[in-house]
């Protein structure tokens, strides 16, 4: 990830900043790593590139009007001496002042002069040191206990790194604003002087002429002062840019510096975190394997075993984090410690509103919640048995072994389980079973999942898909668990004397003999032929055939065979057959 960011930024600089190569203000790769969010990295990088454009945009003016550093430094000291003399003169006037108004006015003038002297001296130092400043000695501050201050001290390294990271950019922005301001001031002063030079003094008395000359002198002094401050600001900016170009490192040097310093620390810390966590996880897996292997009976975990496993997972996280921070402390990197603490505290803070949910999830893990191991929940209208509650709970349907589901704890919280017994209905059918829907749609179950079920002919052709809800609403009957076929046919009243005993007995023998000779004969459990009723013109007989589920694929053939063997029996005994209406 870091190398990818480095390449993207380097390509961007090469493609867009070639024309400003001499004034390149590149980003320190060592400092880029300090920012833990990519958006912060991009923002700061873009800000630095903006500073480059600021410096480059004014570089042409510097070439047109080059400023000698030594002469400008001499000018600064001359101005300091001149303003110091002005301050001394004002001090003498202050002593001679009689009214409070005069004293207050002179004091304000002295303050402005002293402030200008301070700015000149600071400018002198910034030019010769390229804007370098020393940090204050924080060890001399008060040592009184303040928990808020102590907390700020913990994250101070991170804030200080960001502050240092943007310090030069902020200084350049200030100088750029100064240059822009003085440019605007110089333009206004030039306009005013031009107007004064074109002013016609004819008709003015000596007093007015004196005031006019004073105004001209004042504005000419304004021009000199603003021109001087403008050149000083440009010189400061130029020296800072030059210092950065001299001290700038190549990308390879920056990468090497990171890899041998903070990058190595971060790698070792992450390796320690992953190593401790993995070692403790492997130890837990080994102990679980040993427990299962030597367990005599297959039963669910006890409450205390669940509590131990939960506490052990907390211990894993604590030990892994401890190893991570131990490495950072051992490598003496307060910045990484601070940013890691910020991340940990931020995660805890963002998750604080989810504490009630986590408590409910802990109850689930301890098997004391609304859903429990070994019990059944209804998921998308399908009963699913909870095999083992974990961070991802495994659900399955015993009737359909291929029907499995992995459900996170957050989703399992929405369900309430119920105990199951051996005769609990878990699903109406299995794959390859034969079912009847709506009382007249018959087919083989070709495929089942948690959303749909597919029926087809016994050879797998002509599939039709139903949703699970539609399947349940169709009142499915599973013929693969055993089924019964009812068939009727009619015989003429001419055989009424044989209708109650001889005919049913003979028909039953003839039909049963014929069905046993068919491919599904082994599945025949019982066959009955009974006198049904006497209609207005013929006698109706009812054939009831009970079969095992293995003969379900022959369902329609059995219907036809019953009618066929009934007709053959009547022909053999010369019984007149009467067609049934509405059958």
- Map out the domains of the chain as residue ranges: 2-131+148-197+211-250, 261-364, 434-478, 482-578
Decide: residue 202, CB within 10 A, 0-12 exposed, 13-18 middle, 19+ buried: exposed
Task: Name the nearest CA neighbour of 326 among 270, 279, 280, 277.
Answer: 270
What's the 3-state SS for 17-56?
A: CHHHHHHCCCCCHHHHCCCCCHHHHHHHHHHHHHHHHHHH
> Three-state SS for 500?
coil
Q: Residue 377 and residue 420: Cα distance in Å, rounded?
A: 10
CATH 3.20.20.80 fits 482-578, yes or no: no
What are the two backbone dihedrals, phi and then psi, of residue 71, each rounded to the nearest 5 degrees?
-65, -35
Query: Which tokens in the block code for residue 75?
Result: 């000018």
Query: Which tokens in the block code for residue 355?
Result: 């504490």
Query: Which tokens in the block code for residue 480?
Result: 């693969």
In 10 A of CB 153, how many CB atoms?
13
Angle at 558 between CA 552 and CA 559, to 5 degrees: 115
Going across the sheet that includes 441-448, the strands are 464-467, 452-456, 441-448, 434-437, 477-478
Alpha-carbon distance values, 469 to 276, 452, 476, 521 (Å): 49, 9, 11, 36
* Contact call for residues 296 and 245 (beta carbons, < 8 A): no
> Three-state SS for 91?
helix
pLDDT along the chain (583 residues), means of 10: 42 39 35 37 39 40 49 76 83 79 82 84 67 51 55 64 69 85 90 83 72 82 88 82 64 66 85 92 86 65 82 91 90 81 84 83 87 90 89 89 88 90 85 91 92 90 92 92 91 86 91 92 92 86 93 92 92 86 49
Q: Residue 515 and residue 569: Cα distance in Å, rounded?
A: 13
Q: Residue 165 and residue 36: Cα distance in Å, rounded?
A: 14
Query: Which tokens in the block code for residue 300?
Result: 């669910």
Residue bearing tokens 């400008």:
72
* Contact call for residues 6 and 251 (beta carbons, < 8 A): yes
Residue bearing tokens 């301001």:
181
Beta bridge partners of 41: none
């Amino acid at each position: 990830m870091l190398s990818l960011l480095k390449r993207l930024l380097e390509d961007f600089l090469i493609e867009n900043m070639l024309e400003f190569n001499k004034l390149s203000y590149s980003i320190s790769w060592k400092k880029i790593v300090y920012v833990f969010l990519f958006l912060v990295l991009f923002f700061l990088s873009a800000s630095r590139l903006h500073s480059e454009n600021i410096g480059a945009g004014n570089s042409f003016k510097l070439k047109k009007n080059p400023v000698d550093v030594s002469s400008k430094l001499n000018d600064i000291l001359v101005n300091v001496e001149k303003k110091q003399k002005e301050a001394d003169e004002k001090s003498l006037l202050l002593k001679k002042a009689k009214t409070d108004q005069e004293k207050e006015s002179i004091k304000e003038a002295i303050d402005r002069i002293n402030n200008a002297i301070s700015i000149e001296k600071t400018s002198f130092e910034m030019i010769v040191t390229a804007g370098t400043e020393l940090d204050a000695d924080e060890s001399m501050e008060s040592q009184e206990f303040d928990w808020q201050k102590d907390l700020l001290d913990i994250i101070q390294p991170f804030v200080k790194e960001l502050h240092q990271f943007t310090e030069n950019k902020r200084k350049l922005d200030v100088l750029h604003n100064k240059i822009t301001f003085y440019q605007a001031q110089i333009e206004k002063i030039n306009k005013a002087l031009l107007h004064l030079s074109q002013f016609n003094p004819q008709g003015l008395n000596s007093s007015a002429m004196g005031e006019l000359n004073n105004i001209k002198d004042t504005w000419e002094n304004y021009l000199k002062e603003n021109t001087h401050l403008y050149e000083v600001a440009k010189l400061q900016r130029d020296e800072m840019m030059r210092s950065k170009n001299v001290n700038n490192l190549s990308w390879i040097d920056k990468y090497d510096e990171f890899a041998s310093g903070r990058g190595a620390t971060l790698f070792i810390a992450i390796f320690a975190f992953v190593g401790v966590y993995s070692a403790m996880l492997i130890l837990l897996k080994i102990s679980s394997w040993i427990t299962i292997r030597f367990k005599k009976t297959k039963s669910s975990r006890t409450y205390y075993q669940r509590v131990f496993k939960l506490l052990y997972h907390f211990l894993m996280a604590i030990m892994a984090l401890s190893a991570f921070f131990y490495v950072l402390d051992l490598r003496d990197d307060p910045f990484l410690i601070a940013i890691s603490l910020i991340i940990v505290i931020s995660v805890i803070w963002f998750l604080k509103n989810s504490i009630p949910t986590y408590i409910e999830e802990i109850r689930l893990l301890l098997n004391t919640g609304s859903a429990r191991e070994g019990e059944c929940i209804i998921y998308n209208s399908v009963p699913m048995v909870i095999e083992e509650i974990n961070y991802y709970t495994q659900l399955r349907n015993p009737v359909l072994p291929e029907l499995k589901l992995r459900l996170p704890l957050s989703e399992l919280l929405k369900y309430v389980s119920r105990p199951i017994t051996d005769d609990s209905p878990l699903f109406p059918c299995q794959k390859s079973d034969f079912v009847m829907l709506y009382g007249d749609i018959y087919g083989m179950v070709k495929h089942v999942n948690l959303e749909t079920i597919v029926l087809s002919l016994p050879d797998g052709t002509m599939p039709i898909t139903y949703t699970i809800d539609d399947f349940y609403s169709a009142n499915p009957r599973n013929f693969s668990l055993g089924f019964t076929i009812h068939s009727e046919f009619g015989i003429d009243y001419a055989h009424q004397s044989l209708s109650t005993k001889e005919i049913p007995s003979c028909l039953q023998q003839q039909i049963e003999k014929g069905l046993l000779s068919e491919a599904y004969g082994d599945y025949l459990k019982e066959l009955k032929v009974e006198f049904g009723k006497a209609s207005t013109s013929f006698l109706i007989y009812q054939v009831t055939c009970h079969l095992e589920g293995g003969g379900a694929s022959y369902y329609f053939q059995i219907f036809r065979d019953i009618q066929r063997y009934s007709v053959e029996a009547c022909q053999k005994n010369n019984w007149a057959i009467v067609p049934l209406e509405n059958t």
